[in-house]
Amino acid sequence: MGSDAVDAVQIAGVVASNDFSVWALFLKADIIVKAVMASLFFSSIWCWAIIIEKTFSLRKLNKLAIEFEDNFWSGGSLDAFYERLNVQKLDPMSAVFTAAMREWKRSKEVVGGRQTGSSLMERIDRVMDVTVNREIDRIERNMTILASTGSTAPFVGLFGTVWGIMNSFQAISLTKNTSLAVVAPGIAEALFATALGLVAAIPAVIAYNKISKDMGRYAARLEDFANEFSAIVSRQMEGRE
């Protein structure tokens, strides 16, 4: 009973003499552990900035796509719609449409009109495919940062954990003392590094999966429009032959 009371007093003394706040743990950490903590912290901030930007960007793109589709399927002249879009800042769906219309209009200016309908359709389809791929690449920019952070942050945190525990063992060997006062600071730093790794990785993984799914839907929407517009152009060309 007496030894238990002594241990309780020692533990209370350790807690009182050591500040285990987040800032204190960072300041007291080894330079390697500090570098790990700082890298994980800034990676987490960077990931959150990307998450917020992509979330609002996708909402805006879907809103613009709805407006474009309403105007496109309103039954008006495609030439008039094209001229109206040509002077505006283009969203991806508008960019696909204008690229196809630009190629179609260029074909009408060919002297003698010696090109065949099939060759023109191939060029229009190719132009739309290139535009779709370019717009999708632009939308997916910085997504690799989320994927990389989600996959590597736990291991970076684990490295900081191992390093902190090594420091604790070194402190034990130097002082030849296994008391909590010797071991606690290094273990606390190690666990804090692990926690930072998880804090950076978990939101990055969840956001990457969610945003990738939303981007996949938007990419499918672009491709569906390109296929529908290709069919419209093909019918109009067949009607003129």
**pLDDT profile of the chain (241 residues), mean per 10:** 47 49 65 85 94 95 92 83 74 90 76 60 89 92 93 90 78 66 69 87 95 94 92 76 54
Give pLDDT, residue 109. 60
Q: Which amino acid would we find at residue 153?
A: A
Give pLDDT, residue 203. 94
By the 10 Å C-beta count (0-12 exposed, 13-18 middle, 19+ buried), 144 is classed as exposed
Of residues 16, 32, 67, 20, the one with CA closest to residue 163: 32
Strands (E) across the chain are located at none
Give pLDDT, residue 130. 93
Give pLDDT, residue 2. 46
Give pLDDT, residue 206. 95
Give pLDDT, residue 184. 67
Rounded to two decimals, what is the model's pTM?
0.78
Give pLDDT, residue 149. 94
Say what angle helices 31-72 and 92-108 make with each other, to 10 degrees: 50
